Structure 1
Amino acid sequence: MPPPDRERDAFQYAIWRVVPSVERGESLNVGVVVFCRRRSFLKARTLLDSDRLRSLSPALDVDALARHLDGMVRVAAGDPAGGAVAQLDQSERFGWLTAASSTIVQPSPIHTGLCDDPEAVLDRLFTRLVA
């Protein structure tokens, strides 16, 4: 529980999953993105387990997937190397990063909570859900 002098703010997060074959329905959590509007916080973290991914899909191009996820992390960070989407405001970038799509990387539904330290939330979620 946070100290009484620290204000808690709403945050949202989604898990990024790799779904190599929609038909088989198997997935592997590969990242988390956390957004806290009041603290101007938007950050993502990813981790690829190449061996597990190849066990789900031996033909999967893990290097291309890693580049794709790196681009998504850059978009979250607002890094110009993330392209035009990375230049949008944080709320629009979070919407783009959590939009449902039919690509191999699919976001979970958006979850919400309260926190006093969004960086610590990202660390906790990443450790629990991905790493």
Structure 2
Amino acid sequence: MSPRGANATGGRELFEYAVLRVVPRVERGESINAGVILYCQARSFLAARTHLDVERLRALDSRADVAGVRAALGAAESVCRGGPAAGPAAGDGPGRRFRWLVAPRSTVVQPGPVHTGLTADPAAELDHLLDVLVR
């Protein structure tokens, strides 16, 4: 560590992220990316950004429950924010909420695998990942 307190990674911290996928017909396994969850323990940062492309969703399933999908994506964002809107997870720390959100499940909105990286700005990294992986 240098005298100014910079670490060996140039001030960047380890983060973990997972893509939120919408699987309108679970039995078919087809999906579209609709969000990203990012957790940076060193910065106590946990957030999700979502973007639902309804046209792409309808291409996979013309009868998809768009309102239900939006509600599920919104719930993931609420759990990340914590507080009363997070429901039973409200009292959990950000790391525990992240682990709960990225646990495998067989529902319409599913997390993809967890990946890692380094960043100096978790919020900007999350916006970048949303642009690259979802939009």
Alignment TM-score > 0.5, same fold = yes
Aligned to 1:124: 128
Alignment of 1:1-131 (within 5 A): 6-131=10-135
CA distance in 2, matches of 1:100, 1:86: 20
The TM-score with structure 2 as length reference comes to 0.89
Structure with larger Rg: 2
Give the CA deviation at 1:109: 0.6
- Could you list the runs of 5+ residues in structure 2 that have no partner in the other structure? 1-5
AA at the equivalent of 1:99: A
Q: Percent identity?
A: 50
With 89-98 and 6-15 compared, the bigger mean Cα shift is at 6-15
- Could you list the runs of 5+ residues in structure 1 that have no partner in the other structure? none
Q: What's the C-alpha RMSD, in Å, of the aligned pairs?
A: 1.5
CA distance in 1, matches of 2:90, 2:131: 25
AA at the equivalent of 2:85: A
User: Is the contact between residue 18 and residue 30 of structure 1 (CA under 8 Å) also seen in structure 2?
Assistant: yes
CA distance in 2, matches of 1:16, 1:68: 10
User: Is the contact between residue 26 and residue 107 of structure 2 (CA under 8 Å) also seen in structure 1?
Assistant: no
Residue by residue, what CA displacement relative to the aligned partner does 1:17-51 show, whole Å, maximum 9, x if unpaired?
01112332211000000000010100000011112
Number of paired residues?
A: 128
